[in-house]
Structure 1
Amino acid sequence: MTIAASAAIVDATVIRHRSDTLTAWALLSPALLVLGVFGIFPIGYAFFVSLHRWRIKKEAVVGLRHYAKALGDPVWLLSLAVGFGLLLVGRIIHTRGAGTGQRLVGSAILLFGVLFGARGFVGICQTGDPRLFNGFKVTLFYACGTIPLEVVGALLLAYLLFRILTARGFFRILYFLPYITPMIATAVVFRTIFSPNPGSL
């Protein structure tokens, strides 16, 4: 094979790679646009709003003062961050440790990470804004109360619909009826509205 032939093969490969890359970006661009508009932009705008004092309209820039008020004493925030860092390092040492000594060191670092993190969290709860932590408690209570019930109920219903031998079709229709009913009601209402018969409305 000559040098010119191998150069032509390399050029064709580069052109095909560029074409594949452009095709991939063209196919990804709608999803990235939706992610940017409905995901990244609202997060950035919420952060921008949090740096200002707002009543009805934007007022003065307050910087990170809102975060300092919500999280309380920065020493406890540092303790929480150190706790998370120790948890990460301890986990890495514990999982990658070959010998028993390394695993013991990893476990000790994990324990110190839990202690530092717990003390930092308790300190933040004591010195921070109580409304923030009340929101955390309500969210945690709601999540722990609803998610297990929904999962257990859905699994139980799926099991019953799968295992019932008599009147299986009836129960499946009964289960699926709430999904169909709004469409049927909408169709009937619009058929009545657009009916050519006088007096239908």
Structure 2
Amino acid sequence: MSPTATIVLIVVLLLVVAAVVIGVQLGRRRRLRQTFGPEYDRVVADTGNRTEAEKELLERTKRHARLELKPLSAESRTRYAAAWEEVQIRFVDDPGEAVSTADELVTRLIAERGYPTGDYNEQLADLSVEHAATLEHYRSAHDISRRSREGAAETEDLRQALVHYRALFADLLGEDPVAHTTPAPRPAADETVPNTDTSTR
């Protein structure tokens, strides 16, 4: 084989290898986007580096695979749905306490499904593999719950927190815990009941 032919062959082989590598990378990227949805873009933005972000998401996937997750029994789902309805009823008279209880209830549900509940950030990372679609709801609810404990949350904030908690709660439960929407606090005589229809939110 002539030197020219050898060079051409090497170039062709390098191009083939490069195409295979790029194809693998694009396929991995597509799978990660499908798995993590908006969480993919969030991690890319947080790290500022797509390669590092994808390494982080792959590590989450591996860690998630080692968890011993388990489905809820029908009895447990019924118990959690009843507990959630109690939270909504309590919201009418004590929004702050209802949100605090919702946070505790969601944490118990997360633990019963088999997720670790020690470190909040690790908890988010573990949940992101199967519950990425509702993870931002959990972040928002957790932030409002923290502000509520500090006395910096308004009643409307607390109502939104309950809406956010309910999104993750239903996702983990596998069904909407109740058929009706999150209640609003009882208005004073001169106030109008706020719109609590969450279907357009």
Q: Does TM, normalized by the shorter one, top 0.5?
A: no
Question: TM-score of the superposition, structure 2-length normalised?
Answer: 0.25
Structure (1/2) with the larger helix percentage: 1
What TM-score comes out, normalization by structure 1 length?
0.25
The structure showing larger relative contact order (alpha-carbon pairs under 8 Å, at least 6 residues apart) is: 2
Q: Which has the larger radius of gyration?
A: 1
